[in-house]
Amino acid sequence: MRRFTLYDSMTREVRVFAPIAPPRVGMFVCGLTPYDEAHVGHARTFVFFDVVARALRRWGYRVFYVQNVTNLDDKVIARGAELGEEPLALAERNFLQWRADSERLGIRSVGYYPYATDYVPEILSQIQTLIDRGYAYPADGSVYYSVGKFGSYGRLSGQRTESLRPGARVEVDRSKRSPEDFVIWKATTPGEPSWESPWGPGRPGWHIEDTAITLRLFGPRYDLHGGGIDLIFPHHEAEIALAEAATGESPLVNYWMHSGMLNLGGEKMSKSLGNVVSLSEALDEFGPNVLRLFYLNAHYRSPLDFVKGKSLEEAREAYARLALPADRMAGVLSRGSGDRSGTELSEALAKEAESLVDRLDATLAEDFNTREAIALLFGWTRRLVAELPRLDSYSTDALSDLYGPYAWAEEVLGLFVRGPEERAGAWEKLVPILVSARARARARGDFVEADRIRGELAAAGIRLEDDASGTRWEFAGPNP
């Protein structure tokens, strides 16, 4: 197993990862509340944690990755009423659409997607335990968690309970004993989905759904909990208080990881703000490789700005530059049947390719620095420009060695993924993107960039001809 480090949101420092029972790793990431279709902001978090799970498995860990589905809460009920649709059916429809989109996006590392409503018996049992231990109290058919009873509340977020007073972030609820208390069993109104309980018909509160799931699947302690940074408070803070009060064991989680938000115009992309960009539409227009490059070409803890009509166009051009040598090699390899004879790599170039794979692993092992890993891949792409005219002369082994860093990116970053039918001609779809990028560079007077793109295309055997009508291209090298 490879040693690696990550930034732990609880201790606010980079720590060496040490699982509770190596090589097993229990990993939980807060999933969707599917009251509407997924947007590109959601996908940033889930693509990143997909990379975490991929990397851990490459490095020898046995990962049980759970991502919950909050298939019933106030937002689901409100949206169902707006559409005239039964809430659980609405959540199921939107979640199935998300699963289809995440499959297209290459997110296949999740081992289990538990629905919150499938864990009502566990939720009821945990609530009763909290009442028995003095951490919760029933009131008017609901049950509330008494935050003041949990002495270490706020240690993840730094939020002080004294600051929690009714206002923008704390709803006024006369049934509460204290303003900071939160509901863990909510009395339902007629027409809402409900379950019988010792305190009357109701439904689970948001925070306790996740702790019921993790206590059932992982036990009182597990290795890694992830989610967006917006969930630190109140959600993750509440999870700690609920689980540790119910079990008496601490810490609930050994490592907390939080990804930054995707912002549109300086604001978090959010359905409630109405500034969303549909994930399905983005996948239709740009494809999974471009979206993954856009997300991963930034450090996961940094906010990521999204500009409509610009961000993904720039990512598409960047991906075309990055992928052209990879796709050319994949095309040559796909034409062969078995081993092909040819020129072998020089010892120096073979060692360079091998050492780059080691550097990629080492880079990711330092707090999952995908941005730096992608920078290394761009460096390899520039290095291979001189080799493109000679690709057809290389043996299978030589091509496989040259392709090694890209194979690493396929396995860990989920980039350069193509169906079998795409491998032979994938590079051809990239050329018009680069031709358009060159035209835009020329239009803005950036002739250095325009010449650089032309030079890269020429090295790949692609000849450009400019005239008054635009730019035409043709492949002038060996049969691709």
- Give CA angle at 286 (284, 289), nearest 5°: 115
String of DSSP letters for 280-291? HHHHHHH-HHHH
At 266 the pLDDT is 67
Determine what percent of the chain is predicted with pLDDT higher than 90. Answer: 71
- Give CA angle at 110 (108, 113), nearest 5°: 125
Query: Please, what is the angle between helix 40-58 and helix 347-364, to 10°?
Result: 120
Instruction: Render the burial of 201-235: b for 16+ CB within 10 Å, e for the rest.
Output: ebbbbbbbbbbbbbbbbbebbbbbbbbbbebbbbb
Report the run of H or E that residue 122 belongs to, with start and end.
helix 120-132
String of DSSP letters for 353-396? HHHHHHHHHHHHTBT--HHHHHHHHHHHHHHHGGGGGGGGGB-H
Mean pLDDT, all residues of the chain:
91
Q: What is the pLDDT of residues 8-38, one digit of tens each?
A: 999 999 999 999 999 999 999 999 999 999 9
Report the distance separating Cα 152 and Cα 129, nearest Å.
19
CA distances from 38 to 46, 88, 99, 269 (A): 11, 17, 10, 11
Report the run of H or E that residue 216 belongs to, with start and end.
helix 206-217
Report the distance separating Cα 480 and Cα 460, nearest Å.
10
Report the distance separating Cα 226 and Cα 253, nearest Å.
10
At 172 the pLDDT is 60
Report the run of H or E that residue 263 belongs to, with start and end.
strand 262-264
The answer, yes or no, to whether residue 397 has pLDDT greater than 70, is yes
At 163 the pLDDT is 55
Report the distance separating Cα 239 and Cα 208, nearest Å.
7
Average pLDDT score over residue span 286-307: 96
Query: Please, what is the angle between helix 87-104 and helix 279-286, to 10°?
Result: 20
The answer to whether 203 and 186 have CB atoms below 8 angstroms apart is yes
The DSSP letter of residue 192 is S
The answer to whether 202 and 141 have CB atoms below 8 angstroms apart is yes
At 479 the pLDDT is 45
CATH topology of domain 5-259: Rossmann fold (3.40.50)
At 306 the pLDDT is 92
Confidence at 375, pLDDT banded by 50, 70, 90: very high
Report the run of H or E that residue 255 belongs to, with start and end.
strand 253-259
- Amino acid of residue 336: G
Average pLDDT score over residue span 375-381: 96
Report the distance separating Cα 117 and Cα 90, nearest Å.
14
The DSSP letter of residue 234 is I
The answer to whether 76 and 15 have CB atoms below 8 angstroms apart is no
For the chain, what is the total number of helices (H) and then of strands (E)?
14, 15
Q: What is the pLDDT of residues 303-327, one digit of tens each?
A: 999 988 899 999 999 999 999 888 8
